[in-house]
Amino acid sequence: MKKSNTVLNRLFRNRLAIIGMLMVFTVFACAIFASFIAPRDPNLMDLANSLLPVGSNQHVLGTDEFGRDLLSRLIYGARISLTVAVFAVLMGGTIGTVLGLTAGYYGGKIEAVTMRIMDALFAFPTVLLAITLMTVLGQGLNNLILAISIVAIPGFARIVRGETLVIKNEEYIEVIRSLGASDARIVFRHILPNCVASITVYASMCTAGAILSEASLSFLGLGIQPPTATWGTILRGGQEFLAVSPQIATCSGLAILITVLGFNLFGDGLRDALDPKLKQ
């Protein structure tokens, strides 16, 4: 209890981490309350008012080529981007954690085979692995989540395995084992809780990466398809109208930047709070 209080104190003393948290909360709030916040239906077309500039009457950020309200599309875009990122990290994180725990705890051939596969997956540049998976799986929300979660697995597996290797040799684990606790109990009740801090920090950074991956895939036309509003698809659409309506590409990119930066600032702050020695 004392330790968690110290960590929280350190986290809340870090101004950049607070700024990061605020950025993330704002984007989450936009995603959750999109239907209340967005001034218009994000897919409502109004061709008579297409490509309106910033500050136009009733369209604060202007409109796209179909006359759809850009601000509303960006607010709704947060919903898809965060859904993909959060579910992909949850899925990849769960699988990676289980693999890392198993490899680290049992060691031997299980560890050798698991970690070799993880090394091989790690050898793929992330976006390229996601591109390959999406080319094969086809477009769509579920496939996008699946592709990004597969990309996330090796990172979690490596981190959790490393932590497990250290924790399993602690004296208290020996004591618990000698008292007759099962492997599953040792792993899930005693080792996993001690890995949570590292998992949380990595998950925060990984969510930032997942948002970038989702945007990259949608930008390449492999992710979510129009008319659904995502930041990547809005940016892809804005590319064609860069000269006449630069705000489409600019604002959608800024939305991605702010969210990713928020997650990175929070992740950095959390890491420093958990291990102040790393704050260099």
Asked if 108 is part of the footprint of another protein (rule: CB under 8 A), the reply reads no
Percent helix, strand and coil across the chain, each to the nearest 5: 75, 0, 20
**Shortest reach from residue 272's CB to another protein, in Å:** 12
Asked if 145 is part of the footprint of another protein (rule: CB under 8 A), the reply reads no
> What span, in angstroms and rounded, lies between the C-alpha atoms of 45 and 104?
54
Q: Bridge partners of 32?
A: none
Chain centroid to CA 151: how far?
11
Question: Which residues have CB under 8 Å from 107's CB, separation 6+?
Answer: none
Asked if 137 is part of the footprint of another protein (rule: CB under 8 A), the reply reads yes
**Shortest reach from residue 46's CB to another protein, in Å:** 25
Its sign, for the CA torsion 104, 130, 20, 37, is negative
Residue closer to another protein (CB basis): 37 or 220: 220
Reference 209, options 146, 256, 277; nearest CA is: 256
Q: Judged by CB under 8 A, which of 4, 57, 109, 125 binds another protein? A: 125
Joined together, the tokens standing for residue 34 give 């999109």
Q: Cis omega before residue 125 (within 30°)?
A: no
Asked if 37 is part of the footprint of another protein (rule: CB under 8 A), the reply reads no
Residue closer to another protein (CB basis): 16 or 60: 16
Q: Is 33 helix (H, G, I), strand (E, B) or coil?
A: coil
Q: Judged by CB under 8 A, which of 75, 215, 224, 229 binds another protein? A: 215
Question: Which residues have CB under 8 Å from 87's CB, separation 6+?
Answer: 145, 149
**Shortest reach from residue 234's CB to another protein, in Å:** 11
Asked if 185 is part of the footprint of another protein (rule: CB under 8 A), the reply reads no
Asked if 175 is part of the footprint of another protein (rule: CB under 8 A), the reply reads no
Q: Judged by CB under 8 A, which of 27, 71, 256, 270 binds another protein? A: 256
> What span, in angstroms and rounded, lies between the C-alpha atoms of 116 and 108?
12
Residue closer to another protein (CB basis): 31 or 150: 150
Q: Judged by CB under 8 A, which of 132, 142, 182, 225 binds another protein? A: 132
**Shortest reach from residue 233's CB to another protein, in Å:** 12
Helix 15-32 and helix 246-274, axial crossing angle in degrees, nearest 10: 130
Joined together, the tokens standing for residue 1 give 């209890």
Chain centroid to CA 189: how far?
26
Q: Judged by CB under 8 A, which of 32, 183, 242, 276 binds another protein? A: 242
Where do contacts with another protein occur on this chain (CB under 8 A)?
116-117, 119-121, 123-129, 131-133, 135-138, 208, 212, 215-216, 219-222, 235, 238-239, 242-243, 246, 249-250, 252-253, 256-257, 260-261, 264-265, 268, 280
